Amino acid sequence: MRWTVLPPTDFLVIGSGVAGLRAAIELSRAGRVTILTKGDPFQSASTFAQGGVAVALSEEDDVSIHLTDTVNAGHGLCRLEAVRVLVEEGPERIQELIRWGANFDKIGGKFAFTREAAHSRSRILRARGDATGNEMVRALLAHVAQQTGIQRMDFHCTVDLVVEDGRCCGAVVLNERSGELSLMPAKAVVLSTGGAGQIYARTTNPPSATGDGMAMAYRAGALLQDMEFVQFHPTALYLPSSPPFLLSEAMRGEGGQLRNHKGEPFMERYHPLGALAPRDIVARAIWAEMAATKTKHVYLDVTHLGADFVKSRFPTIYATCLRYDIDITEEWIPVSPSAHYMMGGVWTDLHGATSLPGLYAAGEVACSGVHGANRLASNSLLEALVFGMRAGAAAVAWAAGQPLPDLTRQAAALRQVELHRLEDAEKLRSSLRRVMWGQVGIVRSRESLIRAVAQLSRWERVVTRPVGTRAELEVKNMVQVARCVAEAALWRENSVGAHFRSDFPDSKRPGWNQHSEICLGKSISKAGGLISGTGGRRSESPVETHGLQRRSALARRLSDPA
């Protein structure tokens, strides 16, 4: 295998969704920026985001109301300062994006705000009906193209982060087309690789969402937080012959009804808000209804909304379902929950800085504290904009005093590394996804989680050796991230938000407001935060240990700068 050292860049951005593109724009004000994208830039989760972006811009809304809705949806585990940053800076970031050419839908010359579950106001901006993420990425890519200091490298998969003298100073990169491996030095690195939905058999995420950034940060020694909180979207298309295509929550916001196999609306039996209850409640209600009726799906009914309205309001969903012979203007849509969004991820402060100097993170890969135990619908795109910008600005400030790193020694060491083949990588990927769906899914228990952790531990031993293809790297990352999720879920012996334990259904057990933390090789204790240490494990190598700890949601404030 041929190794090369690429020309250094001031700033390296890994991932090209909304968070990565916004970070790159900010970084370009202070130096050369390289954006690495695994595969095609239009295959990011941002591009597939349908429903919209939540922002307090309408006449009936206020940032304080948006804050309250977000905190309520997060079940008491949001970081209040992070939510305040989100809602207060969000309007400015959206207005900025509009100036850069983003076109959001209007009615009568005014923005067409809609409402989604757990929002007390109509504050969801949308674009082209149900293509909001795609429009935001388009506008950001166009603005990136105007910046002379930004270089894009598509079809370049990041293998690992490079750490030297306790700081992140670049990455190992795989050219997917040539198979060549390279070192890319950088003063600072911003992770914006998205989530890890592909660790589940059913997911609305694109195939690229394999937890790469979380796994790389974990291997580099960065802290991961709240990994047990995985949001399952209540309504994904259920057909044996199709992938779980997302059916936007906006469909229920516009009046769509959930019905069981008898045709009965059932959500009012589970929550006063009915179909507009928070996502975690709707997903578990559907799960319970499927179990009670011994069926694999329920139905989403929008037929009463009128054919013209449905076609114009949800053109992408209408066209996609029609390809599977479902006319949603005339037929009920078979739906069931699917893994959708990671609330946990690489811990960051309010400026996107991780626990590893020189490494920043924004978007779904990061745990900024905004979402708590359950993300409020349509807050993710806003978080990506706000914290992408913040991460970029913070990386600029940090890198001002840093020289470009010399990775000559690392390059020499890497040339001695022998790459191995991962046997039956696709079989392992498929088996892992089934285990996670069955044992670490919407409803969990001690028994199911112990089985999952044991199996994942066996698989982790298989994927420890260096590999050299994208498919093999993805499986390695999926195994490591899945284990983090399973171990954190086993540790949290209560039910809160998206995490539900059938053996601990009470949400207010002692310690309910504490955060799980996982870090490789050491137990992390930060000022004002550590409550107690639990669990952990030791593998063949003494440097591969999980430190899993609890931190109070309130104590977190003491260690985060405003």
Position of tokens 């890519």? 141
CA angle, residues 227, 548, 338, in degrees to nearest 5: 15
Q: How far is C-alpha 56 from the chain's CA centre?
A: 22
Joined tokens for residue 409? 């020694």
Helix axes 425-439, 470-491, angle to 10 degrees: 20
Residue spans of beta strands (DSSP E) within 112-267: 124-125, 150-153, 156-164, 167-175, 181-191, 224-225, 230-237, 257-259
Active-site option among 84, 152, 279, 444: 279
3-state class (DSSP) for residue 242 = coil
Question: In 10 A of CB 505, how many CB atoms?
Answer: 11
Torsions phi, psi of 394, nearest 5? -70, -40
Burial of 365 (0-12, 13-18, 19+ CB in 10 A): buried
| Residue 218: half-sphere exposure toward Cβ, Cα within 13 Å | 29
Rounded Cα–Cα distance for residues 248 and 404 (Å): 45
CA angle, residues 97, 99, 103, in degrees to nearest 5: 70
Rounded Cα–Cα distance for residues 127 and 140 (Å): 14
Residue of 141, 177, 131 lying closest to 20 (CA atoms): 141
279 catalytic per annotation: yes
Per DSSP bridges, beta strands 359-361 and 366-367 are: unpaired
- The single-letter DSSP state of residue 370 is S
Rounded Cα–Cα distance for residues 518 and 227 (Å): 8
Rounded Cα–Cα distance for residues 396 and 46 (Å): 24
SS3 letters for 123-140? Answer: CEECCCCCCHHHHHHHHH
Residue of 232, 147, 143 lying closest to 195 (CA atoms): 232
| Amino acid at site 65 | I
Residue of 413, 50, 399, 487 lying closest to 247 (CA atoms): 50
Please, which residues bridge with residue 225 across strands? Answer: 345, 517
CB-based contact 315:128 (threshold 8 Å): yes
CB-based contact 152:38 (threshold 8 Å): no
Question: How far is CA 148 from each of CA 24, 98, 184, 344, 406, rounded to the nearest angstrom?
Answer: 12, 21, 20, 35, 25
What positions carry a catalytic annotation? 279
